[in-house]
Amino acid sequence: MCGRYTLAAPDPAAIRDRFPVGESVEIRRRFNVAPGDDVLAVTTDRAGAPRGELLHWGLVPPWAKSPEMGLKTINARLETITERPTFRGAFARYRCLILADGFYEWQRLGGGSKQPFHITRRDAQPFAFAGLWSIWHRPDGGTMRSCTIITRAANSAIAGLHDRMPIILGRSDEREWLEAATAGARLDQILAGLPAGETELRPVCRAVNDARYDGPECLAPPAEEPQRALF
């Protein structure tokens, strides 16, 4: 699964240059993005043009009775995505880019403790997760725009930590991923995921374990573990 990630690049202008988010969406440095947060994404308008916006992380389909459903839909498994009603329609028509520059996974250690790792592209460049989005209409007439991150079996670099990983799109595939007309075999190619040889892992301190904490200490080496973050 993917339950925590980063968009910690210090220069928002670089993110705007890299992705078609426009000028109206706020870009903040995020060291510990967690489910339920508003996340930076690229969707498309009715004409198919890309647009940047903030989406609630945890997809709420149009037919949901409550937004609480989003607590269980932060990820969508690629293997069953066309079978599950929650994701099937969005996969066909409402695909998005969820912007990031790394994600976290945990290695189980003896005694029940876990060591967090920050996982990035080897070139350390920002990237886009393959995402789906949806609009849910509130009883009061308002709307909630939400999203999920698609996952697949982990590559060999990550498999020692977890058997799943979020799908990181190739830069040249991002536009086609957004286009509703892209289908079939081409989607299979696009969703191949980040190869092991392009994957970088490094241990970080346990500040990231607290989903409420979103400071730079999340990316500090374990040797710089702040005592207040240990639990």
Beta strand ranges found along the chain (DSSP E):
5-7, 30-33, 38-44, 50-57, 75-77, 95-100, 102-108, 114-121, 127-137, 143-153, 164-166, 199-203
SS (HEC) of 9-27 = CCCHHHHHHHCCCCCCCCC
Higher-pLDDT residue of 226, 94: 94
> Contact 115/109 with Cβ under 8 angstroms?
yes
One-character DSSP codes across 2-65: ---EEE--S-HHHHHHHS---SSS----EEEE-TTSEEEEEEE-TTS-EEEEEEEES---TT-S
Which residue matches tokens 């009715």? 46
The pairing of strands 164-166 and 143-153 is: antiparallel
Neighbours of 96 (CB within 10 A): 27
Spot the catalytic one: 53, 96, 105, 205.
105
Name every residue whose Cβ is closer than 8 Å to that of residue 89 and which is 6 or more positions away in sequence. 61
Query: What rounded mean pLDDT belongs to the chain?
Result: 94
Strand, helix or coil for residue 186 = helix
C-alpha distances (whole Å) from 57 to each of 34, 122, 161, 216, 227 are 8, 26, 23, 21, 30
Residues 105-123 have a mean pLDDT of 93
183 vs 52: which has the higher pLDDT: 52
pLDDT at 136 > cutoff 50: yes
More confident residue, 3 or 231: 3
Question: Which of 2, 96, 147, 205 is flagged as catalytic?
Answer: 2
Cα 196 to the chain's mean position, in Å? 18
Higher-confidence residue: 120 or 109? 120
Q: What is the pLDDT of residue 230?
A: 43
205 is catalytic: no
Residue 228 confidence class, pLDDT cut points 50, 70, 90:
very low
pLDDT tops 50 at residue 25? yes
Residue % of the chain over a pLDDT of 70: 97
Is 105 noted as a catalytic residue in this protein? yes
54-91 confidence digits (pLDDT tens): 999 999 999 999 999 999 999 999 999 999 999 999 99
Supply the DSSP symbol for 212. T
| pLDDT band (50, 70, 90) for residue 165 | very high
pLDDT band of 226, cuts 50, 70, 90 = low
* pTM: predicted TM-score of the whole model, two decimal places: 0.95
pLDDT tens digits along 169-220: 999 999 999 999 998 899 999 999 999 999 999 999 999 999 999 999 999 9
Residue 231 has pLDDT above 50, yes or no: no
